[in-house]
Every structure is written in C-alpha cells, then in structure tokens.
Amino acid sequence: MKALLKKSQGFEGVDLDEIQEPITKSNEIKVKVYAAGICGTDLHIIHDEYPYTPPVAMGHEYSGTVVEVGEEVEKFQIGDRVVSLTAIVTCGSCRYCNQGLLMLCEHRKSIGSGVHGAFAEYIVIPAKSAYKIPENISLDEAVLTEPLACAVRCIMERGRVNGGDFVLISGPGTIGLLALQVVKANGGNCIVIGTSHDKERLNLALEMGAMAVIDVEEENSEERLMALTKQQGFDVAIECAGVSISLNNCIKLLRKQGMLIQMGLFGKKIEFDSDLSLIKELNYVNGFATEPTSWEIALRLLEYKHVDVLPLISNKLSIDNWQEAIHLAEQKVGYKTLLLPNT
Ligand SMILES: [Zn+2]
Ligand SMILES: [Zn+2]
C-alpha cells in the first residue's frame, strides 16, 4: 500500500513509498483511511523537531471505515466509520496507565511518530482505541476530532474556563479557532488576537462567535485589549501560535492569578518573561495531546453542534500530491489540509 514515510533526517527523508499492508491481530481493526489532516506536529517531524522512529508513516488526525475486524472484537463491524486515539501502544502497567493517562505512559508509541500512522491507505489499531463517528458527522468533519480533542484536553481537562470569563486566544489558526469554539461552549467571552497576516482568520473568528478580534500590530492594541476586559486583564489566555512573542503577550495581558494555557508547540527553546509570570502568580497549564476522556467530550461537542469544524477544512489533496499538500500546510494556506490516501 501507499504510505507517506519519514525515513531519515531532513525533508529529503520524506517519501511516498510502497509498504506492506498491515495485518489485523485478534483485538484489532483494520481501517481504510478516508482522509488524514496535516498537523503542526507532522511538520515538526518532517523538520526533525519532534521525536519519531523511522521509517514511519506520519499522520495522526484521520477518519476512515472499518474493513477488517479481529476475531475477539465485538464493538465494531465492517463498514463502521471510526476515528482513533493516537497513543495506541501503551504498557498498561505504569503509574500513568493505571490512571488512564495513556499519553504519559513511559512506553507509549503514538501513530504517526512511534508506529505507522494515517498517511497510508490502511491503518491497523486496537479496537479499544477506536470510536464510532456519530451519524450526523461526515468523514471530513471527523478528521478534526483529534485536534478538537487536544483543545478539550487543554481547556476543559487540564485548564478551566468559567462562564463569563474573559478569554484571550492568541493565534487564529486551526487550533485557535477550535479553542475559540470550546471556550464558547463553556460560556467564556473570547477575544482573538493575530497579526496583519491573519485578517481572514480573524474575520472567521468573528463569524464563529468571538466577542472581538484585534491585530496586535495595530496601534494601541494593548490598550484596546485591556479596555475589552474592563481594565481587569484576562482571566484565561490560550497560546495557540507556538511563537514566543505570542506567549509573552499572553503573560502581559493576563490578570493576576489568571490561567495561561499553552497549546502551541514551539519546536525549540524560547524566551519568556518568567518574573512577570511569577509576580502575577499565573497558573500555567498545558496538555500533551489527548486522553480517552478528551475524545468522548470532543465527539459529543461535534454531535450536538457546539463546534463547527467544516469552515476549517480548506484543502483536500490526493496523497500522490503530498509535496503540494505539505507546502500548503507549511505556508499556512487556509486552515486544515487533508491528504486522501485512497483517492
Ligand atoms: Zn495533531
Ligand atoms: Zn504505561
């Protein structure tokens, strides 16, 4: 089968190749991948900024249809539409596994980095890692379940938004716009910030229910932001851009004892104003991808229409055009770029 592999260092180490189709074990299901989203993490893997075990098929945000079911599996049938957790290999006995924290397992391997992922025609996963897609959700929309679950993990499980909170979202990309909708579902007032490059994204943020959007490069942006919070500062700031200036803006604009939620991955060491964060007694939380509970909440948010992911799907390309797809993702053309391995 076709698979987009990261084989070795650098962009030259990425190649569309033929690999053997995976074999389905008794507790597993085999899924024909419909589409897989290109995530910032995939780009970090391509540039060797995120750990991976080569050669590995990248891709961890996907949806597909079950084509084979192991003999012990009762939960799924051929034809079921599914999504799955990323942390599919875990030891089951470390302190984190015992708490159900699969991403933190000492021996975890995730699809797309540690084991073959979804930039491939088929993927085989343990049945216990998979979830049925609600009937009213399309396969296109379901691809976004994983990044939505990341937002749920950070904002609802690790962090917290109270009704009426002033919430700053820094970075109006896919993650920022998912975070916006999760915050709205929790009753927060969202203000989204970006730069002059983000005009269209900021407009979409308004359409998705942001209370205000502000280009931080414009004059008096800080004063305007503080005025929006009645000079109190933000209760919660969610860093979604993965750049240090954005993190420092969050620290500056938070109120004392506010909550800083880190969602963006920087891909390198960065500088931030640690003393200001200390003086304000900020609560700093982050989240490493998702846990099973995050998926259940994410699927419910989708099913009951608290979140609309359709406007975030911008590009759909056959895996044969993977170079162009990666280019679109790197240049941040639109929002999500999907690779179709079977088209
Ligand atoms: Zn992702
Ligand atoms: Zn473990």
For 148-198, how does the pLDDT look when each residue is reduced to its tens digit (9 = 90+)? 999 999 999 999 999 999 999 999 999 999 999 999 999 999 999 999 999
d(C-alpha 57, C-alpha 7), whole Å: 9
Q: Which ligand is nearest to the CA of 110?
A: 1
Question: Do residues 161 and 84 share a domain?
Answer: no
Question: Do residues 105 and 31 share a domain?
Answer: yes
Question: Do residues 62 and 41 share a domain?
Answer: yes
Using the 8-state DSSP alphabet, how is residue 104 labeled? G
Q: Which ligand is nearest to the CA of 40?
A: 1
Sign of CA dihedral 301, 307, 309, 310: positive
Question: Do residues 23 and 68 share a domain?
Answer: yes
Specify if 152 maps to a domain. Answer: no
d(C-alpha 255, C-alpha 306), whole Å: 28
How far is the centre of ligand 2, averaged over its atoms, from the C-alpha of 75 (Å)? Answer: 24
Average pLDDT rounded to a whole number, residues 226-235: 98
Region at 188 (left for phi over 0; alpha for psi -120 to 50; beta for the rest): beta
Question: Do residues 7 and 104 share a domain?
Answer: yes
Look at the block and give the residue holding tokens 């015992």. Answer: 98
How far is the centre of ligand 2, averaged over its atoms, from the C-alpha of 223 (Å)? Answer: 48
Specify if 122 maps to a domain. Answer: yes
State the CATH number of the domain containing residue 33.
3.90.180.10
Q: For 6-63, what is each residue's pLDDT tens digit? A: 999 999 999 999 999 999 999 999 999 999 999 999 999 999 999 999 999 999 999 9
Burial class of residue 288 (count of CB atoms within 10 Å of its CB; 0-12, 13-18, 19+): middle
Average pLDDT rounded to a whole number, residues 278-293: 95
Q: For 138-148, what is each residue's pLDDT tens digit? A: 999 999 999 99
8 Å CB contact between 285 and 159? yes
Q: Residue 275 belongs to what domain range?
A: 157-286
How far is the centre of ligand 1, averaged over its atoms, from the C-alpha of 41 (Å)? Answer: 6
Number of domains in the chain: 2
> In whole angstroms, how far apart are CA 326 and each of 99, 144, 264?
37, 17, 19
Specify if 150 maps to a domain. Answer: no
Specify if 296 maps to a domain. Answer: no
Q: Report the candidate in 119, 88, 83, 112 with the shortest Cα–Cα distance to residue 102.
A: 88
- pLDDT tier at 267 (50, 70, 90 boundaries)? confident
How far is the centre of ligand 1, averaged over its atoms, from the C-alpha of 160 (Å)? Answer: 21
Q: Is the pLDDT of residue 265 over 90?
A: no
pTM (two decimals): 0.96
Question: Do residues 7 and 139 share a domain?
Answer: yes
State the CATH number of the domain containing residue 211.
3.40.50.720
Question: Do residues 75 and 184 share a domain?
Answer: no
Q: Report the candidate in 148, 40, 153 with the shortest Cα–Cα distance to residue 101.
A: 153
